[in-house]
Structure 1
Amino acid sequence: MNSSIVKFEKRLLLEKYLKESLIHHKPLLDCDSDAIYAMDLDGYFLPVNPACEQLFGYEAEEFSKLSYMKVIVLEHLERAFSFFYQSVDGKLQNFDCQIIHKSGEIIDVNITNYPILIDGKIVGVYGVAKNITEIKQKRKKYIEEMQHREEIYREIVEHSPDAVVIARNEEVLFANDTAVALIGALNKYELIGRNLFDFVDPCYYDVVEKRVKDVEKGSAVDFMEQRLIRKDGNKIEVEVKSIPAIYQNEPARHIIIRDITEKKRTQELLLQSEKLSVAGQLAAGIAHEIRNPITAIKGFIRLMEAANEFKQNYLEIINSEMNRIELILSELLLLSKPQKMKFKRGNILTILEHVKALIDTQAIMNNVEIEIQSFSEIPSFICDENQLKQLFINFLKNSIEAMPNGGKITIEVGLLESNQIQLRVIDQGCGIPEEQLHRIGQPFFTTKEKGTGLGLMISLQIIDNHNGTFQIFSNQKGTTIVTNFPI
């Protein structure tokens, strides 16, 4: 039988089926805002509900004389016909395309096609068309806004004085010019696509991995000092902060890197300057401390000369006094000599005894007694002894100067259950006003007439270098400084 006759018969069968079977659903279909229609095997429309007239702009009689060819925009026509014929083959299809309204307006629609079966034969295709123009416009506007924001974000990041890297998992996705210069690369392409850990000092792998996991879970991590490895193999000191971000519509990490080489150098200069200042202030007391044993040594030597007799007990006293002079001078030289940080195991009680030997004379001249108390066996811990000596001298000097009428300084050393060594320096001075306590440690803030405020600021830096904590409590009866150091 001729195929055109077959199609015509199926068209008549389709019209009859729609007329008889859909009459019971007419009230429901009339309320639907989506255009519902049927198509014969040649793609000609049969309107089912009034929404077809609103969406396509044609009245029912006009609409039934139209086919896909007339309403689908040319650019989408081949694709739409492909989906239509797949539906004729019995497959449900859903796709987006554009149609031309009778007025000429282009409308974005989402179309669902599925076959109509009568007596086991496909006689046509049902179509449901939903107007998605507004959704498409909103989506387009959203994409444009996102692209605009990303351009602004990229512009800000590109000109940031800090090195900025965008990473996902361990892969570098983006790096600004500052990051390229910091790592010593020739261009961004030497960084993009590389593994982030290629530039991390292996000593920091564990802590960096933990921070990466925290950020990927949605938590920001604050600045932390670590070392990076440049392209030339040199290591640099940096501060790194990481926050969750969206890059190219996917989760990523925004990493801020600050070169702190100059900051570290400045800290070392301040540290050395304060050490020299402390050494100078201690000089008068130390000169007096050295003069006393020298006088004793000279006296015993003269006694032996006068008696023309060697006495062992005199020699022991002389040797003891010489050892004391040697200890004081070595401590003073160590304090004033520029040194890089050197962490090794040390005993806090031994360090305190050395500091007490240095500052005892100044304390006695000010009628101040210094007492060291230990409440348990104190284990050694990793520290920089020279820095801790400077820290304890600063604490004791401040306490002595706060007691112009004399008094007692008690240094209590104990072991906490949290596996920390606690040091408490308690004086009987005039105290610090409560409203000024929060400013303690700020640069150039001091309660002394001729002070600079740098001493305590440097002390706090030393505590931070040892991963310690600092607290200060004060009233009119005195001040207590509490410092904890992890073992």
Structure 2
Amino acid sequence: MPLIQDSLFTIAFQSSPIGMALADLDGRWLQVNPAFCDMLGYAEEELLAFSFHMDSSLQEQQRSLERINQMIAGELSVCRLEKGYLHRKGHIVWVQLSLTIVRDEQSRPLYFIAHIQDVSAQMIAAYSTDIISYAAPDGSLQYVSPSIKTVLGLEPEEMIGQNSLSFIHPEDAAALQSVYERDSSEEAFIMTYRSRHADGHYVWLETTVRTIRDKTGVTEKIIGIARDITERKHAEQLMHDSEKLTLAGQLAAGIAHEIRNPLTAIKGFFQLLQSGKMKRDYYQVIQEEFLRIELIINELLVLAKPQAVSCDRYDIVALLDDVTKLLEPQAILNNIQLQRRFEEAAFHIECDGNQMKQVFINVLKNAMEAMPDGGDIVISLKPVGNLLQIIVQDQGCGIAKEAVKRIGQPFFSSKEAGTGLGMMVSFKIIEEHGGSMHIESELGQGTSVAILLPMPSRI
């Protein structure tokens, strides 16, 4: 390949204070200058064994290749990339790589000229308190930036060689361990965890993690840039506590309102009893009001007491069968058909079976009560990625869009005699199982309740 032989260019190339290199159209280094060799601590012949994709993740390589192909096609004249190259001594050198393309007389691309500028100082200035580190595939730390002293009170030297998990809060260690097992096709991602300070307390860190893999997909190293977010976490906790106090106030006001109504009725009938004007029919009304108070108190107890999730492996199809058998007599009396549409005969998940039945009963009873004229309730199950989707679709009167947003709030219900606590409990149960529940409805068109639950990997 005819490279530039002009003596002035050669002098400039060799004497340049910034890194310069020539690369073929695949990115492999063809020539490198002394400044670039000094920048990374390698001899010239060592660098020529690499390309400008060195130390890049597969995703970074793909993005770079897209830009390079644009240059080859003549769509870009200059390409600028920021990269983190690994110095021979182990630390990261952040560079700005500027590429231009050399063409022949027929405008055919020949090779790239690269200008490589060390921008590590600017990066450190921008992220002076951030911790830059990289670890081997087994988690042993191979480099930690000096900012670790400011954030965690530790010296970088005392961390080198130790497993990164040994500094992590036990409750967060499993999440960090999963970093070493992530799929090679994944982009850089962000995770939060607690790391132990030298004096024993824990510091919240938010870390951008990138796994560097070789051409075969084998992990070579794991790079992380961590930032102290302890103050942000404290602020979030204060906001969360404030929201809980607000909710407690709303709940207390709702309880007072809901219980005052039946108590007012009972008080009035008691006055009639004292005056001797009590009719026998009134005793039935008093009993109903007491039952109303009992219902409210029981639902509050379910909501208030700690719901320890006792998970085991359950077949959701079997749980739904149990619930539909329980509700079928009431459905038949109301001319309602419970239709089951399951893509498979069994779907196993880790859950608390009794709590899950409670959710299904709440959702199905709401659907049945919304259909006084009868109709069909369709229960469908299907996997969506690594989640199990359960949908209950009714043909009831539907709910206004403004009201749908309030479902799950205490003492809000679209039913005349409802308390809203049943759905509040249901949302809480699904959330504690790592899932989510979504409701869609339109007046006159019925309601759809979709429950998403994590499903274990199936081999």
> TM-score normalized by structure 2?
0.42
Structure with the higher helix share, 1 or 2: 1
